[in-house]
Amino acid sequence: MEARDTLNDVLKQLRAEIKRQSKPENMMNYQRWFKEKLKNPVGLKGPVHKKISNQFFKLIKDESKKQILDYCEELLASKQGAERGIAFMWASNISDRLTKADFPRLERWLKKYVCHWGACDSLCCGALGALIHQYPELIPRAKKWTSSNNRWMRRGAAVCMIPSLGKGTGLKEAFSIADLLLTDNDDMVQKGYGWMLKVAADSYQKKIFDYVMKNKREMPRTALRYAIEKMPQNLKKEAMKKDR
């Protein structure tokens, strides 16, 4: 069977399964978690969505990286929420096969297909974050997103550091990104870099606390609260204290 025929067959089966599983007991109202009006929301509970993703990934997992990423491109092009989510999950499944040459494609996905924080975090904590952890020399390219007019690019600059920080690396670069986003007036970006600092605090609590204290006059309260969320109560109280 030709590659194109295989692609069409897999996608046809996948879409039929999504439709079959889209029944009342498997539906979830994702809109309640988002300010922006969702276009073509997933509509499936997380475990059901993931189960479908895993079920169909088994059919393609032995194909080439290029072929799998081409599948993802087809799913993303549909602009359907369920298919976008599966595309990002499949890309994450092959993150150990990604190389620096794949960065432009994933960067384009972030710019073109991400339309809310859930999609941003799925891509940036998945395939994109794993790629940056494997090749930290890509961080300067991601850091450029901090000056983008696209709020999801700016949030992504911080969130893509989370996989590295979760493994105890990338603190210097995370501080640099936080500096660039420090006074961003978009709450989605504030929550993104605050979350990045919160994850970093798991390994570097004192350094994160010192950073927050140094910048608390400029740092939006939303970002500050995220950054200190898991710290001991006495540190949280000190950080939240307003200067006279």
User: How confident is the model over 99-147, as pLDDT tens digits?
Assistant: 999 999 999 999 999 988 889 999 999 999 999 999 999 999 999 999 9
Has residue 33 got a pLDDT over 50?
A: no
Quick check: 198 and 229 in contact, CB under 8 A? Answer: yes
Distances (CA, A) of 149 to 132, 133, 145, 184: 22, 25, 9, 11
The whole-number pLDDT of residue 9 equals 85
The pLDDT of residue 40 is 54
Residue 161's pLDDT is 98
Mean pLDDT of the chain: 90
The rounded distance, in Å, linking the Cα atoms of 134 and 129 is 9
Residues in the chain: 244
Give the pLDDT score at 227.
97
Average pLDDT over residues 38-46: 63
Give residue limits of the domains in the chain: 1-97
